[in-house]
Amino acid sequence: MRRAALSLGAAIVAFAAILAIFAPLLMPHDPFAQDLTHRYTPPFWLPGGSSAHWLGTDGLGRDYLSRLILGARISMLIGVSTVILSGIIGTTLGVLGGYFGGRTDAVVMFIISCRLAIPVILVALTTVFMVGSGLWVVVLTIGLLLWERFAIVARAATRQVSGLDYIAAAWAAGCSRTRVILGEILPNIAHHLLVIATIDMAIAILLEAALSFLGLGVPPPLPSWGLMISEGKDYMFFKPWVIEIPGIALLILVLGINLLGDGLRDRLGARTEQ
């Protein structure tokens, strides 16, 4: 059961990654090409659907499947780059605090507390409102706001690991401090950080969708899934598939990432406890 969940999660994430990487090759139509004579063509399983547009078209007659695939690329891009950014910030802070302790740790804890006191959505909205929307603005904003889990976990794990004998043994073998931190401590907390990375990636993707839904995320005509939901929301009672399709895509991707994260946590946790 556990294994199945991990495999399913990994399969979903891998599928999304393939869509993201090979989006230009996989899209059947130009996702930006408008065709006002074929607005709101329903997907093929509904009456009036056509095999030319499998998932139908949107209000401007753009192919929905193509936009969904390009949207996967944007979601994955945002998920991965925010996790890299917040991972670097959080891990650096956490490892420094956990390793040096004392005053350094107090400063790190203070920074983490400050960050926890900030309402993420509000600050993201304000930033995007002031700076203007754009893909990299969204990445930077979310990345600079989501590092606290990394910091907290890295700090706790570093404290735990640095008290172990193999760290003392590394010192006794003549390792430098840089080498002890990067070569001995970091590889041994990496599995904790990997799990945090999956959690944060799911959160970042949802956050981007929320921002885009509010019109402050990825600017049109880029097809973010959140933006697609937003653009379709006026028709949700008449043509529910317009928001169902990107909504389900979002649900599946986030679910897949979470399954992967849970599975990794169980697997890696079991291995280190051996």
Least separation in angstroms between residue 259's CB and other proteins is 25
Least separation in angstroms between residue 91's CB and other proteins is 16
Which of 170, 194, 214, 255 is the binder for other proteins (CB under 8 A)?
170
Q: Is residue 118 a contact point for other proteins (CB under 8 A)?
A: no
Q: Is residue 173 a contact point for other proteins (CB under 8 A)?
A: yes
78 closest CA partner among 200, 196, 239: 200
CB neighbour list of residue 274: distance below 8 Å, 6 or more residues apart:
none
Stretch that binds other proteins, among 107-115, 169-177, 202-210, 242-250 (CB under 8 A): 169-177
With beta carbons less than 8 A apart as the criterion, state whether 68 and 249 touch: yes
Query: Of the two residues 45 and 166, which places its CB atom closer to other proteins in the complex?
Result: 166
Stretch that binds other proteins, among 65-73, 171-179, 209-217, 229-237 (CB under 8 A): 171-179
- Dig out the tokens for 61 from the structure: 């007659």
Which of 175, 194, 236, 255 is the binder for other proteins (CB under 8 A)?
175
Stretch that binds other proteins, among 74-82, 162-170, 231-239, 253-261 (CB under 8 A): 162-170
202 closest CA partner among 96, 76, 105: 76
Which of 106, 164, 182, 270 is the binder for other proteins (CB under 8 A)?
164
Least separation in angstroms between residue 192's CB and other proteins is 12
With beta carbons less than 8 A apart as the criterion, state whether 257 and 201 touch: yes
Torsion of CA 206, 79, 200, 7, to 10 degrees: 100
Query: Of the two residues 50 and 176, which places its CB atom closer to other proteins in the complex?
Result: 176
- Number of residues located near other proteins, criterion CB under 8 A: 18
**13-44: string of b/e by CB count within 10 Å (b at 16+)?**
beebeebbeebeebbebebeeeeeebebbbbe
State the Cα–Cα distance between residues 49 and 56, nearest whole angstrom: 7
- Dig out the tokens for 189 from the structure: 């907390």
Q: Is residue 114 a contact point for other proteins (CB under 8 A)?
A: no
Burial of 174 (0-12, 13-18, 19+ CB in 10 A): exposed
Q: Is residue 178 a contact point for other proteins (CB under 8 A)?
A: no
Q: Is residue 1 a contact point for other proteins (CB under 8 A)?
A: no
Helix (H, G, I), strand (E, B) or coil at 13: helix
Which of 58, 63, 184, 200 is the binder for other proteins (CB under 8 A)?
184
Query: Of the two residues 171 and 235, which places its CB atom closer to other proteins in the complex?
Result: 171
Applying CB under 8 A, which residues contact other proteins? 164-166, 168-176, 184, 187-188, 190, 272, 274
